[in-house]
Amino acid sequence: MRVNSEIRVRLDRVRPERPRLTSVLSSLLDDVLRRNAGEPEFHQAAREVFGSLEPVISAHPRYAEASVLERLTEPERQIIFRVPWTDDSGRVRVNRGFRVEFNSALGPYKGGLRFHPSVTLGTVKFLGFEQIFKNALTGMPIGGGKGGSDFDPKGKSDGEVMRFCQSFMTELYRHLGEYTDVPAGDIGVGGREIGYLFGQYKRITNRYESGVLTGKGLGIGGSLVRTEATGYGLVYFAQEMLATRRESFADKKVLVSGSGNVALYAIKKAQELGADVVACSDSSGVVYDAGGLDFDLLRHIKEDERGRLADYAARRGSASVYRAGDNLWTIAAETKIDIALPCATQNELNGHDAKLLIENGVIAVAEGANMPSTPEAAHAFDEAKVLFGPGKAANAGGVATSALEMQQNASRDSWSFDYTEDRLADIMRGIHVRCADTSEQYGEPGNYVLGANISGFTQVANAMLAMGLI
């Protein structure tokens, strides 16, 4: 099979490893891992960030002297609470709620609420930690936080979801405010859930504080482009990466994992830019359309009907192939894939998958989910000189548009779709510039992981130093 001419490095070739952490950084990381036992996702995120900070800590010892990293890795506040509610049969159910308010140096805590059985404190801390850097990279005045519950809205009636949301907000409301903490939607928290949460907040506080939650419906202060934001922003970022090598989405074959909002609108925007998106996935399997996915049909099934990819394949007929329980990335063994956009969940793309993509000509990978590539995969892409956009940079479009929604709410204004999308595109271009310039400044041009981590870190660290020890 033809391999991209840019790729000159064999995967098994040994290159000098990145300099090991100094004793200071190594000791700090060991302490973080020890004090946050049993939280593997948070450990992974911390290792990635610490692995990038050697150059900036060496160049600017004031960060170490002021214990910025110790303060940055310890959340300002961690809230865990019981959420009791009754189902439609009158049975009492109990879930656990979380809000980790990680860092407010740049602005109010900002980050989504996730309702999913997989939600644990470690998951929320990893997401909140990543959110600090992601939010800083947008250039918007927002800090980092995350929250959620192990409640699963799937299969629940509207009444059950409403009662859960009301119980959840009855505790959480005391920690929120448009100048304090502004949650958004995330996995399992769409317009329905945000509406119920906002309604309960309004009732308890006796204030119509529009800017306290983002991702609201258009009738209650929501923003156009909010649904599309993360997927569109991902493609805008990937487009900027490709442009550095005089490439584009035009006529490229693309794989997109997932089929939620992020994946759907990444597919749409990539297609608008001329790409041939041939496959996507959900938790049950993979659908492969060699001639390109039918976006309108896919969107209708996923958004309007809340259906599955098996339903898409059944209606699409012979044009598509549905593979129950299959691994999306194996499609790269059947056809050359130019661009991969993992948009499903953390650690979904491993070292083996990365090797398969590289051997079959992938030129760019951009993360639409949070940390979907394992450390082994990220290292393989780096070694092979594949353009790699980490999630904290590439999928920042969602939180950027959330911040734009906050601006609209604060000004009692409403913006058009085109105006909001233009703002989003400008923000993503700015994120790319920050990452690219920083990586070049520290001697590793094109290393977007290093650029994103250092750029995000320095913005937050400088703000923390300016405010003193708080």
Catalytic residues: 146
Can you give the C-alpha Rg of the chain in angstroms? 22
Cβ contacts of 223 within 8 Å, gap of 6 or more: 214, 401, 402, 404, 405, 408, 415, 420
Tell me the β-bridge partners of 85. 93
CA–CA gap between residue 64 and residue 112 (Å, rounded): 30
Torsion sign over Cα 281, 282, 287, 289:
negative
Cβ contacts of 192 within 8 Å, gap of 6 or more: 158, 161
Torsion sign over Cα 359, 263, 139, 186:
negative
Find out whether 420 and 404 touch, Cβ atoms under 8 Å: yes
Strand, coil or helix: 279: strand
Find out whether 367 and 387 touch, Cβ atoms under 8 Å: no
- Residue 101 φ/ψ region, left for φ over 0, alpha for ψ in the -120 to 50 degree band, beta for the rest: beta
* Counts of helices then strands in the chain (DSSP H, E): 18, 12
**Per-position b or e across 392-430, b if 16+ CB within 10 A of its CB:** bbbbbbbbbbbbbbbebbeeeeebeeeebbebbbebbeb
